[in-house]
Amino acid sequence: MKRLLKVMIMLTAMIVAVLAGSTYAQADVSNTPIHWGFKKGQDEKQADAGKKLNNLLEQYDAVYKGDPTKKNIYLTFDNGYENGYTEKILDVLVKEKVPATFFVTGHYLESAEDIVYRMSQEGHTIGNHSWHHPDMTKISDDRIKQELEKVRAATEEITGKKQAGYLRPPRGIFSERTMEVAKDAGYTHIFWSLAFVDWNTDQQKGWKYSYDKIMNQIHPGAILLLHTVSKDNADALEKVIKDLKKQGYQFKTLDDLMWSRRIKEPMLY
C-alpha cells in the first residue's frame, strides 16, 4: 500500500511538471509583465521608451517608432468593437490617400465583417490584436498561439488575403516570454510612440481635444495609435492629416517601416 502511494505521488509530480512546462515552455525567458510606456515626444522630438525597453524591443525586432531624421508617420488604429465611426475614418483615409493599419479583435471580426472587408479592399493593413483581448502574460504559450491563430484565420476568410504578421499586444501588456512566443508564431510586435486617452466613449471632449493631443506630440517616425470608437478622432482626423501634410509629414505603411529597417516583411504563410 505504501509503495502504491509513493508511485501515485511520483506520477502526480510528473504530470504537474509536464503541465507546467506546457503552460510556460520558455522557462528561461522572463514572464514579468511590462506595461508599455514612454516619455512623450514634443517639439517634434521623438518619444523615448528608455534604454532597457529599447534593447528588449530590438532583440525581438519590435518597433514603436521610425527614423528620427525622416518626417514619416505610421497611422494605426485599435479596433476592439465598432461604435459607428470607423466608416467615417475610412472615408477620410480614402479622400486623403492615407494608408493605415487596423489592429482587430475577434469581437470586431465577428460583428463588423463588412467593415473589415472594406479596410482590406481599400488597401489598408489588418493587424492582430488577439481574439479575446487578454493579458497575454497570464495565459499559456499555447493559448497565445490560439488567440493569434483565430484572428489570422478569420481575417483571411473575410478578406481573401494573407494577414500581415503584425501584433499589437492587448492592453499594452507584454513580457519577454510573450514576445518570444509571438515571434516564433511569425509576428512582429508593433507598439506606438504617440497616444492619449481617447477610448472612453462617455468622455469625449470635442474634435479639438484629439487634434491638440496629436499635434502637440507629433514627431518624425511616429507610430500613432488611435481608437476608432472615439468620435473626437473621427471628427479631427481630416484636419490632422491635412495640417501634418502641410508640415511636410508623409503617411507610410508598416511594411514601409519594416523595409526601411531591413527586416523581412513579416507575413504568415
Catalytic residue numbers, as ranges: 78, 227
Query: How far, in Å, CA of 123 to CA of 125, rounded?
Result: 7
Give me the DSSP letters along the chain.
-HHHHHHHHHHHHHHHHHHHHHHS--TTS----EE---BPPBTTBPPB--HHHHHHHHHTT-BSB--TTS-EEEEEEEESS--S-HHHHHHHHHHHT---EEEE-HHHHHH-HHHHHHHHHTT-EEEE--SS---GGGS-HHHHHHHHHHHHHHHHHHHSSPPB-EE--GGGEE-HHHHHHHHHTT-EEB--SB--S---GGG---HHHHHHHHHHH--TTEEEEEETT-HHHHHHHHHHHHHHHHTT-EEE-HHHHHHHTT----B--
